[in-house]
Amino acid sequence: MRPAWPERIVGLLSICEAVVVAWFMATSRTAGTLEQAGAIASALPHLLFGALITLGPLWVVMRLLDWLFAGPARRKSHITARFSP
């Protein structure tokens, strides 16, 4: 089953955010020290919470737009209105 477009967009953005955070952590000046490893481990819950705060409302708004324009009905091939003269 293929996910709807709001889930695909939020999934792509979360992957992009994870790549940027990983790149930023890998290129920091003290990436090899134990103190930096401890700082990364302690900052990880904050980074995950920040991603949830930024991507959660975006997903809700896109899901609402999808629902308002009959996205689920269109994907299931249901006819929402039928006109017969």
pLDDT at 61: 92
Query: What are the percentages of helix, strand and coil residues in the chain, rounded to 5?
Result: 75, 0, 25
Every domain of the chain and the residues it spans: 5-75
pLDDT at 37: 66
Tell me what pLDDT residue 36 has.
Answer: 66
pLDDT single digits (tens) 1-58: 678 888 899 999 989 888 887 787 777 665 566 666 677 677 778 878 888 888 889 9
Instruction: Find out whether 55 and 10 touch, Cβ atoms under 8 Å.
Output: yes
- Give 60's pLDDT tier (boundaries 50, 70, 90): very high
Segments in 1-85 forming alpha helices (H) = 5-26, 34-68, 71-75
Of residues 83 and 47, more confidently modeled:
47
pLDDT, residue 12, reads 92
pLDDT of 78 above 80: no
